[in-house]
Each structure stands twice: as structure tokens, then as C-alpha cells.
């Protein structure tokens, strides 16, 4: 097992990784920017190293600075959290070359999943259903026209180096195709440094359902059920839950087994998430894979009793799945609300000092956060400041518990998304589990849609 781990992240996830290390008896090193000197992840780690100015490009994303911090403090592994360097194949490679274990999938897997068109082809070959579309990237206008003839309209053009909803363009008729194709290529080049795009049939009112997986370094992969992430706005998830109301135990086991088998086939290890769209007929289609731990991992922890971060660490250290995780049993229902420091109506970020922070507790309530009274939320990073997670024996208990927990969560001094969550939780369609990816729009003023 590792002796000492560097956490290449900040905020609640850095603290979450510190919790796991403490329970495993592993020493921790925090890295931080000049803006995060007084942050909780710095206070709770055994050691801390300042790695640069506030801007993440000069600190949390600066590979030489992170590696130097790891070398000075003599750690044997690096946990990247989510965001920042977590899916950077070059970073994973530099870690391994510096004799630091990267707590995540291999650099080769990060590279594969980062090329969305290739990931789609490989996962299809490994046995997952994919959205009808092109076999790879679409090189030119002629290829685009011929692919559109096969797929039909509406279709969607996606940047191969994009993902998570960035670099997508819906095309509803043949007249729009050529302009959309060229615009998509230009935007992809600007945003991601590669003009490569691929095409898929556009699914109109999908639900976003993702499977959590864990793989060891000996060829074994298991799934830990699914999360429903349909409550989102502009590709930012707001509420996640597990299980999804769209799957029964039998379809969960069928699709989950297929997912685990496909990933074992390609040799995937550590934690990962396989994203599907579910169309209105109930068909599931693979869209992309996230090769990291995700923000919403706690809802899976709450219904499986598996500590996903400790599992990641054990698996990276070479343990097999049986030792690291054991048998997985599902029970109860969990919901997570992401609390962001932003205006609940306009979504404009709200940085500043938190003058009061009183969080809910009690049976079945968990708060993952690095915020506290008198904490200063810097304007430089993601606006997520807390995750409110509940577990109930069934969905209706979880919904009731989330409602009361939201009532009892007090944050003053900055604006937060708590009022929006209270509105969504009060909605009859939310209560009934009737969700799709257009759900949130109904709660927003016209301008914020
Ligand atoms: C789609 C789609 C419809 N058809 N692909 C957005 C996030 C990225 N992971 C994939 N996304 C979508 N891909 C096809 N072929 C609709 C979306 C989409 C979406 C997906 C999940 C959650 C929210 C969404 C909101 C708008 C569009």
C-alpha cells in the first residue's frame, strides 16, 4: 500500500480524498494556489505545498509544479480528483515516469476516452449499444453529406476532443448541414486544438443515465449500478440520484453486466463512468466514458456502501477487486444536490466571504464540502461549494429527507443554488421521478434558459 499521497486538487474533493487516506493510514500532501492558503484541504493534510498564483493554469494545471511538489515531499502516489489534471494522459505518463503511481486509469485509457469518436468505435466493438452515427471522424463535406443521408435528421455533430456537452451542434435539415459542419470544425479547432468531428442521430428528449465501474489491474471489472443525471442546465448537473427510476433490477443487471464485460475486454482499470442516453422508447445508447472519479460519486456510495475513493487507492496499489471492494449489494435510494456559489436565477457566479454556514445533519444526511463560516470563495475556480447528499430506504423517504435538509441548510454572505433546489424538490414531476434533460428549464426565468 502507498505510504504518502499527494492530492492534485482543491475544495471538497481534495478533502474527500484526505478522509479516505486518513482511514487507510496513508499520509497526505495538499497542493494549493496562493488563493487557497487558508483552505480546509491545506489545514487537514499532513503537509502542504504552494504551487503557484491563483489562476489554475499557473497552479492546479501546472504539471511541472505539481510533480515538483510530489518530488520534494517524497510521495509515492498522486490522486488527481476530478477536473484539472484528472483525465490528462500526459500528466499520468509524467507521474509514472517519475515513479509516482497515478490513481486512475492508465495513460492509454485516458487517451482513448479523450478521443470521443475512437471511444465510441471501441466501446461498440466491445459490445455496447451506440447511437446510430459515423464510424469515426467525418473528414470533409462529401463525407458529411453521405453520413447525413444514412443517419437522417435531426442529427448532432460533436467534437471528438470535446465531451461533457462542449462542442456540439444540432442539425435539423440538409440545408443547414454544410455550414454547421464547417462551423463545428472551426469551433472544435479553436476550443480543443483539433478540428475532428463525428456525427450521431440526435435523440430529442433523452435521460442521462451513467454506470459506475471499478476495475483492478488484473483484468477484472465490476459495475456499481447507475446514476440518473437528467436534472441539469447547460450541461452542468444540478441533482443526481441512484438508482434511476428508469431501470428495474433486471435491466440494471443486464446493462451493468454488459458494461463491465466491455471494459474488461479493453483492459480498463480503476474508477470510471460510462454515460448513456435513454430515449423515449427506453433504449440505451453509449455516448462517452469519463475516466475519473466524478462529482456525483457519493450517491453510488450511499446505495452500495462502497467507499469509491478508498477503492481507487487500493486498486491503484495493485489489490484485486475482491480484496479492495468485495461483493456489491444495492439498498435504498440516494439523491445529491450540488450547491453552487451562484445566483439561483441568473447563474452568475457569486464569490466572496461566507458570513454564516450552518449545514443540516441527522440520519441519512451527508454534506461533502470544504466551505465554512468565514471561508472566502475565490472567483478563480468552479462554483461548487457543497454537495448535499441524502439516503432513504426508498425514493420517497430520500425526497422527504432532501426537502427537510434543504430547509435546514443556511448559507449567508454569498448567493447559492439552494433556493432553486427547494423549488425543484417541491415539483410533482420530480416527486414522481418523471425526469428528462429539459426538466430544469421550466424553473428558470426566460433569460437564464
Ligand atoms: C446527445 C444528445 C442527443 N443526441 N447525443 C450532452 C452532454 C454530452 N455528454 C452528450 N450530450 C448530449 N448528447 C445525441 N446523439 C443530447 C445531449 C444533451 C444532453 C445529454 C445529457 C444530459 C443533458 C443534455 C442536455 C442537452 C443535450
Please give the DSSP secondary-structure letter assigned to residue 168. E
- Ordered per-residue pLDDT tens for the chain, 449 residues: 999 999 999 999 999 999 999 999 999 999 999 999 999 999 999 999 999 999 999 999 999 999 999 999 999 999 999 999 999 999 999 999 999 999 999 999 999 999 999 999 999 999 999 999 999 999 999 999 999 999 999 999 999 999 888 889 999 999 999 999 999 999 999 999 999 999 999 999 999 999 999 999 999 999 999 999 999 998 999 999 999 999 999 999 999 999 999 999 999 999 999 999 999 999 999 999 999 999 999 999 999 999 999 999 999 999 999 999 989 999 999 999 999 999 988 889 999 999 999 999 999 999 999 999 999 999 999 999 999 999 999 999 999 999 999 999 999 999 999 999 999 999 999 999 998 888 998 888 777 77
**Total residue count of the chain as it appears in this document:** 449
Atom of ligand 1 nearest to the CA of 131: 15
Ligand 1 binding pocket, CB closer than 6 Å: 131, 156, 164-165, 200-203, 206, 208, 232, 235, 275, 277, 287-288, 437
Atom of ligand 1 nearest to the CA of 285: 15
Atom of ligand 1 nearest to the CA of 155: 15
State residue 344's pLDDT score: 86
**DSSP symbols for 77-122:** EEE--SSTTTT-HHHHHHHHHTT-EESSS-HHHHHHHHSHHHHHHH
118 SS3 class? helix
Minimum CA distance residue for ligand 1 atom 15: 202
pTM, two decimal places: 0.97
Query: Would you name the residues annotated as active-site residues?
Result: 292
Compute CA 157 distance to the chain's CA centroid, rounded to the nearest angstrom.
Answer: 22
Choose one of 131, 132, 155, 165 to mutate for the ligand 1 pocket test, by most ligand atoms within 8 angstroms of C-beta: 165
What is the C-alpha radius of gyration for the chain, rounded to an integer number of angstroms?
Answer: 21
State residue 291's pLDDT score: 98
State residue 448's pLDDT score: 77
Please give the DSSP secondary-structure letter assigned to residue 447. G
Amino acid at each position: 500500500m502507498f505510504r504518502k499521497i499527494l492530492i492534485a486538487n482543491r475544495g471538497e474533493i481534495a478533502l474527500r480524498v484526505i478522509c479516505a487516506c486518513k482511514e487507510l493510514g496513508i499520509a497526505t500532501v495538499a497542493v494549493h494556489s496562493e488563493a487557497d492558503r487558508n483552505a480546509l484541504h491545506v489545514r487537514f493534510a499532513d503537509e502542504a505545498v504552494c504551487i503557484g498564483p491563483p489562476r489554475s493554469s499557473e497552479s492546479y494545471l501546472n504539471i511541472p509544479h505539481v510533480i515538483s511538489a510530489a518530488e520534494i515531499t517524497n510521495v509515492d502516489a498522486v490522486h488527481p480528483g476530478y477536473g484539472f489534471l484528472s483525465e490528462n494522459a500526459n500528466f499520468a505518463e509524467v507521474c509514472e515516469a517519475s515513479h509516482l503511481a497515478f490513481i486512475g486509469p492508465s495513460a492509454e485509457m485516458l487517451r482513448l476516452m479523450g478521443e470521443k469518436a475512437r471511444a465510441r468505435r471501441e466501446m461498440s466493438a466491445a459490445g455496447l449499444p451506440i447511437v446510430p452515427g459515423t464510424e469515426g471522424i467525418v473528414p470533409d463535406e462529401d463525407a458529411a453529406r453521405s453520413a447525413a443521408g444514412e443517419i437522417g435528421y435531426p442529427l448532432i455533430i460533436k467534437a471528438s476532443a470535446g465531451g461533457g456537452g462542449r462542442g456540439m451542434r444540432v442539425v435539423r435539415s440538409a440545408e443547414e448541414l454544410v455550414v454547421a459542419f464547417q462551423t463545428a470544425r472551426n469551433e472544435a479547432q479553436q476550443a480543443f486544438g483539433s478540428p475532428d468531428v463525428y456525427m450521431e442521430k440526435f435523440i430529442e428528449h433523452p435521460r442521462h443515465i451513467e454506470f459506475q465501474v471499478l476495475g483492478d489491474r488484473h483484468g477484472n471489472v465490476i459495475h456499481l449500478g447507475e446514476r440518473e443525471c437528467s436534472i441539469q442546465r447547460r450541461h452542468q448537473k444540478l441533482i443526481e440520484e441512484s438508482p434511476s427510476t428508469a431501470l428495474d433490477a433486471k435491466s440494471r443487471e443486464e446493462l451493468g453486466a454488459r458494461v463491465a464485460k466491455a471494459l474488461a475486454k479493453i483492459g480498463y482499470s480503476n474508477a470510471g463512468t460510462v454515460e448513456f442516453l435513454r430515449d423515449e422508447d427506453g433504449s440505451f445508447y453509449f455516448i462517452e466514458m469519463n475516466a475519473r472519479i466524478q462529482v456525483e460519486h457519493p450517491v453510488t456510495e450511499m446505495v452500495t456502501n462502497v467507499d469509491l475513493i478508498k477503492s481507487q487507492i487500493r486498486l491503484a496499489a495493485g489489490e484485486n477487486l475482491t480484496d479492495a471492494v468485495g461483493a456489491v449489494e444495492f439498498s435504498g435510494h440516494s439523491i445529491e444536490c450540488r450547491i453552487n456559489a451562484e445566483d439561483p436565477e441568473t447563474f452568475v457566479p457569486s464569490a466572496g466571504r461566507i458570513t454564516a454556514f450552518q449545514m443540516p445533519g441527522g440520519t441519512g444526511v451527508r454534506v461533502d464540502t470544504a466551505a465554512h463560516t468565514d471561508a472566502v470563495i475565490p472567483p478563480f475556480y468552479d462554483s461548487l461549494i457543497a454537495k448535499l447528499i441524502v439516503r432513504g430506504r426508498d425514493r420517497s423517504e430520500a425526497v422527504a429527507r432532501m426537502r427537510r435538509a434543504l430547509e435546514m441548510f443556511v448559507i449567508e454572505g454569498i448567493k447559492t443554488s439552494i433556493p432553486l433546489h427547494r423549488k425543484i424538490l417541491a415539483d410533482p414531476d420530480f416527486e414522481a421521478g418523471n425526469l428528462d434533460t429539459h426538466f430544469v428549464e421550466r424553473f428558470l426565468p426566460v433569460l437564464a434558459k
